[in-house]
């Protein structure tokens, strides 16, 4: 018992628990064992291993022990949490009075204090080790006597004072980047210096630039990179063509969104004499033009990914490459890397080849055009498209049967006017034409990842994998409890959870709570990342998986092209080292997270802009989150998320029931749960604070 208690606290040094809570953690149920537990808790206190504060026990810390972590300020609340560097410690809750002069993102030193909030121990910030943000973006304003920055980020909870001498040409109403942030005394505001004027607040270019700066995304290419790109010839040398499989006479097509500018994948299909299908997946050979050591390569490595903001792409590669030389535009010769797969009519892989090639796309299709051909059976290359769709549906059915999970995250599509102002928002519809391309890309990615696996007595080749870990047990249990509150069933202890997930997602499909259930399900999962250590992809149900099919917009795909080519031609001395690939994986995973955040921010800004003229209108919505200060709702028509603040509800007082995902009105007894459908009235749109406020009309 004593060893078990010590092991529990050693594993989680931040624990601060009562004896009964410790008993629960250690599965102590009978009275005899509980008495033994209390005896050893007393002994460990005497031995100065534990200390007791009130009824709670916690680990005794040496005076030299420092708790260091990153502060995250919580929106709508004057408090935050510090995520500690020691991964096995729980986050420390920091109330507003204990934030000191720390800002969101700062690396701080924390001291634990008496008290507890929910599941987290409480602490106070005693030292700012490093400012997390080198610059903060916002709008320059002025009160009676001084200038200040109103930050775009609602997690920056104090206005930043700017002395007249530090404006550097900025005017009131400008969107600016402020740097050299200093905050010495909590009684005064932080101070900063204007580093750059991004444009007039609210202008499209200024907003795009500010989002890029906010998430540390480079949106301009260095001159050295542009110069190097301009020196690349558009003409493919005949000597290069001779080295490749010539597919220029084959029927090869591209299928992409209507507004796409870079086309990095194309497809083809043939029926072989034995009745099997030969599917071709042809990917732009960016690696031919972008080699390690060049300025373009180094810049692409740093960027990690292209970023798709509403109405604007911040590309990973200069436009001459991304939109012209590498892009698989129709009726132009293009260098490619092709994966040929021989499949039976039941989608069993019989054989495959991975070859450098040259193609000439015969047609550029949009998803809408392909969907019409699928539905009518007529149109350009209808035979090939119909056959590819048949193969895709078979591959998809086989994948789902093996336990792949088809998460659905609804997306919105904006129609913008010439000034970038949104005039219409639609929810993107995922149809068979989208699935057609997705399944063929998944197939190619699987095959390439498995190809480098060591055969008997062969050495392991350093490689980039796309991995997805098993879900956290606690999060899965919490998810099961949540869906039960909505009337659905999910067994967190089932042997095959992935099939359970898919069954549940199928059950909620088409319902108004579909988006909420999918979102909470995704949150309960680990995040997919890039790694040199393969553990498989849980969500897809694949043992081997990589990213090979989008080298124009993702750096790991480019690295995979280089690695797989050197592996195939047995040119190991040119291989990227394990250390280089690990750096690529870490950087790409981080840049991917930044890109996703920036893209979400871009969508949110356009939703705000679209709704600002609709104050007073009533909308149908679904409750997407519940906190102690209010209810988050997502509009069914635009997926815009806003808040119903309890302080805006005059005739009732609501209490937060965290355990049951709901709030209950003290007077009305009305109960609002996560996933409930409600009608709401738009009462406020604050573009500067990026907030949308509603009130209930039910």
pLDDT tens digit sequence for 307-353: 999 989 999 999 999 999 999 999 999 999 999 999 999 999 999 99
Q: What is the pLDDT of residues 273-309, one digit of tens each?
A: 999 999 999 999 999 999 999 999 999 999 999 999 9
pLDDT of residue 58: 84
- CA separation for the pair 395, 305 (Å, rounded): 28
Q: What is the pLDDT of residues 148-176, one digit of tens each?
A: 998 888 788 888 999 999 999 999 999 99
* Closest residue by Cα to residue 522 from 503, 505, 546: 505
Q: What is the pLDDT of residues 494-537, one digit of tens each?
A: 767 788 888 888 888 878 778 788 888 888 888 999 999 999 99
Cβ atoms of 566 and 572 within 8 Å: the answer is yes
Residues sharing a CB contact under 8 Å with residue 635, sequence separation 6 or more, in sequence order: 619, 620, 621, 641, 642, 680
**Cα→Cα distances 261→297, 425, 686, Å:** 21, 21, 33
pLDDT of residue 120: 67
Mean pLDDT within 49-59? 82
Helix (H), strand (E), coil (C) string for 216-236 = CCCCCCCHHHHHHHHCCCCCC
**Cα→Cα distances 336→252, 263, 348, 539, 565, Å:** 12, 12, 25, 29, 12
pLDDT of residue 118: 52
The burial of 114, by beta-carbon neighbours within 10 Å (0-12 exposed, 13-18 middle, 19 or more buried), is given as: exposed
The burial of 351, by beta-carbon neighbours within 10 Å (0-12 exposed, 13-18 middle, 19 or more buried), is given as: exposed
Q: What is the pLDDT of residues 613-655, one digit of tens each?
A: 999 999 999 998 888 889 999 999 999 999 999 888 888 888 9
- CA separation for the pair 245, 234 (Å, rounded): 20
pLDDT at 134 over 80: yes
* Closest residue by Cα to residue 106 from 141, 158, 175: 158
pLDDT at 252 over 80: yes
For residue 344 the two structure tokens come to 């039976």
Question: Phi and psi of 217, rounded to 5°?
Answer: -110, 125
The burial of 593, by beta-carbon neighbours within 10 Å (0-12 exposed, 13-18 middle, 19 or more buried), is given as: middle
Domains of the chain and any CATH numbers? 2-59 (1.10.10), 67-130 (2.40.50.140), 135-201 (2.40.50.700), 223-467+530-600 (no CATH), 473-525 (no CATH), 612-696 (2.40.50.140)
> Following DSSP, what letter does each residue of 538-604 receive, concatenated?
TTTTBSS----S-TTTBHHHHHHHHHHHHHHTT-GGGSPPHHHHHHHHHHHHHHHHHHHHHHHHHHH
- CA separation for the pair 45, 516 (Å, rounded): 46
> Following DSSP, what letter does each residue of 41-105 receive, concatenated?
HHHHHHTTSEEEETTEEEE---TT--EEEEEEEPTTSSEEEEEESSTTSPPEEEEGGG-TT--TT
Mean pLDDT within 74-82? 76
The burial of 90, by beta-carbon neighbours within 10 Å (0-12 exposed, 13-18 middle, 19 or more buried), is given as: middle
- CA separation for the pair 517, 407 (Å, rounded): 10
Q: Give percent of the chain with pLDDT exceeding 90.
A: 56
Angle between the 31-46 and 2-11 helix axes, to the nearest 10 degrees?
Answer: 70
More confident residue, 61 or 142: 142
pLDDT band per the 50, 70, 90 thresholds, residue 119? low
> How far is Cα of residue 631 from the mean position of the Cα atoms in its chain?
23
48 dihedral zone (left: phi>0; alpha: psi -120 to 50; beta): left
CB atoms within 10 A of CB 649: 16
pLDDT of residue 696: 92
pLDDT band per the 50, 70, 90 thresholds, residue 64? very low
Cβ atoms of 112 and 121 within 8 Å: the answer is yes
* Closest residue by Cα to residue 413 from 261, 260, 617: 260
CA atoms lying within 13 Å on the CB side of residue 69: 26
End-to-end Cα spacing for the chain? 55
DSSP state of 646: G
Cβ atoms of 606 and 685 within 8 Å: the answer is no
Secondary structure (3-state) at 658:
helix
* Closest residue by Cα to residue 252 from 377, 384, 379, 355: 384
- CA separation for the pair 652, 324 (Å, rounded): 61
- CA separation for the pair 497, 491 (Å, rounded): 8
The H or E element spanning position 435 is helix 432-451
**Residues linked to residue 16 through DSSP beta bridges, in sequence order:** 58
Please list the helix, strand and coil fractions of the chain in percent, rounded to the nearest 5, in that order: 30, 30, 40
- CA separation for the pair 193, 147 (Å, rounded): 11
pLDDT at 115 over 80: no
* Closest residue by Cα to residue 288 from 331, 334, 324: 334
pLDDT at 261 over 90: no
For residue 133 the two structure tokens come to 């943000």
pLDDT of residue 77: 55
pLDDT of residue 454: 73
For residue 129 the two structure tokens come to 């080790």
More confident residue, 17 or 659: 17
- CA separation for the pair 404, 537 (Å, rounded): 9
Q: Which of 4-8, 169-173, 396-400 is the least confident region?
A: 4-8
**Cα→Cα distances 297→177, 489, 507, 559, 605, Å:** 28, 49, 46, 10, 32
For residue 630 the two structure tokens come to 């209010």
pLDDT of residue 643: 95
- CA separation for the pair 611, 605 (Å, rounded): 10
Secondary structure (3-state) at 466:
strand
More confident residue, 50 or 599: 599
pLDDT at 698 over 90: no
* Closest residue by Cα to residue 282 from 261, 269, 262, 268: 268
């Amino acid at each position: 018992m004593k060893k078990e208690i010590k092991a529990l606290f050693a594993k989680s040094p931040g624990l601060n628990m009562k004896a009964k809570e410790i008993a629960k953690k250690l599965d102590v149920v009978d009275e005899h064992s509980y008495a033994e537990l209390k005896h050893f808790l007393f002994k460990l206190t005497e031995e100065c291993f534990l200390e007791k504060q009130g009824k709670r026990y916690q680990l005794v810390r040496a005076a030299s022990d420092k708790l260091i972590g990153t502060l995250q300020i919580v929106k709508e609340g004057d408090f935050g949490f510090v995520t500690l560097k020691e991964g096995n410690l729980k986050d420390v809750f920091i109330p507003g009075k204990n934030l000191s002069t720390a800002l969101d993102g700062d690396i701080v030193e924390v001291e634990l204090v008496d008290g507890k909030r929910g599941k987290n121990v409480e602490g106070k910030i005693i030292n700012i080790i490093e400012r997390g943000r080198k610059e903060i973006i916002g709008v320059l304003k002025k009160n009676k006597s001084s200038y200040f920055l109103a930050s775009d980020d609602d997690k920056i909870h104090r206005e930043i004072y700017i002395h007249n001498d530090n404006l550097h040409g900025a005017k009131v109403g400008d969107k600016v980047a402020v740097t050299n942030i200093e905050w010495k005394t909590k009684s005064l505001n932080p101070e900063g210096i204007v580093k750059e004027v991004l444009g007039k607040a609210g202008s499209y270019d200024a907003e795009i630039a500010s989002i890029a700066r906010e998430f540390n995304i480079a949106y301009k290419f260095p001159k050295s990179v542009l110069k190097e790109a301009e020196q690349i010839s558009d003409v493919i040398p005949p000597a290069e063509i001779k080295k490749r499989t010539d597919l220029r006479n084959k029927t090869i097509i591209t299928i992409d969104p209507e507004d796409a500018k870079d086309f990095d994948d194309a497809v083809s299909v043939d029926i072989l004499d034995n009745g099997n299908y030969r599917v071709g997946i042809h990917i732009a050979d960016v690696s031919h033009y972008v080699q390690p050591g060049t300025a373009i390569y180094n810049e692409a490595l740093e960027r990690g990914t292209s970023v798709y903001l509403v109405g604007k792409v911040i590309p990973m590669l200069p436009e001459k490459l991304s939109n012209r030389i590498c892009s698989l535009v129709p009726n132009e010769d293009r260098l490619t890397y092709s994966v040929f797969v021989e499949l039976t009519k039941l989608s069993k892989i019989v054989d495959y080849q991975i070859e450098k090639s040259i193609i000439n796309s015969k047609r550029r299709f949009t998803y809408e055009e392909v969907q019409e051909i699928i539905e009518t059976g007529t149109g350009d290359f209808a035979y090939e498209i119909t056959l590819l769709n048949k193969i895709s549906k078979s591959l998809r059915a086989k994948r789902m049967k093996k336990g792949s999970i088809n998460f659905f995250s609804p997306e919105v599509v904006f129609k913008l006017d010439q000034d970038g102002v949104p005039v219409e928002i639609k929810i993107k519809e995922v149809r068979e034409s989208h699935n057609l391309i997705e399944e063929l890309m998944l197939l190619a990615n699987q095959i390439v990842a498995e190809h480098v696996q060591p055969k008997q007595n062969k050495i392991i080749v350093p490689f980039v994998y796309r991995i997805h870990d098993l879900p956290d047990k606690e999060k899965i249990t919490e998810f099961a409890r949540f869906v039960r509150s909505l009337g659905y069933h999910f067994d967190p202890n089932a042997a095959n959870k992935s099939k359970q997930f898919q069954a549940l997602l199928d059950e909620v499909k088409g319902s108004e709570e579909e988006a909420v259930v999918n979102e909470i399900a995704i949150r309960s999962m680990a995040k997919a990342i890039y790694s040199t250590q393969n553990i498989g992809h849980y969500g897809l149900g694949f043992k081997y998986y990589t990213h090979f099919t989008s080298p124009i917009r993702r750096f790991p795909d480019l690295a995979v092209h280089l690695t797989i080519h050197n592996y195939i031609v047995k040119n190991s001395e040119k291989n990227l080292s394990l250390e280089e690939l690990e750096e690529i994986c870490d950087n790409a995973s981080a840049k991917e997270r930044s890109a996703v955040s920036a893209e979400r921010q871009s969508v949110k800004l356009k939703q705000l802009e679209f709704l600002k003229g609709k104050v007073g209108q009533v909308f149908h919505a679904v409750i997407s989150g519940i906190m102690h200060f209010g209810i988050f709702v997502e509009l069914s028509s635009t997926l815009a998320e806003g808040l119903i603040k309890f302080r805006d509800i005059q005739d009732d007082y609501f209490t937060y029931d965290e355990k049951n995902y709901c709030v209950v009105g003290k007077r009305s007894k009305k109960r609002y749960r996560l996933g409930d459908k409600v009608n709401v009235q738009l009462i406020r749109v604050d573009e500067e604070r990026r907030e949308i406020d509603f009130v209930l009309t039910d």
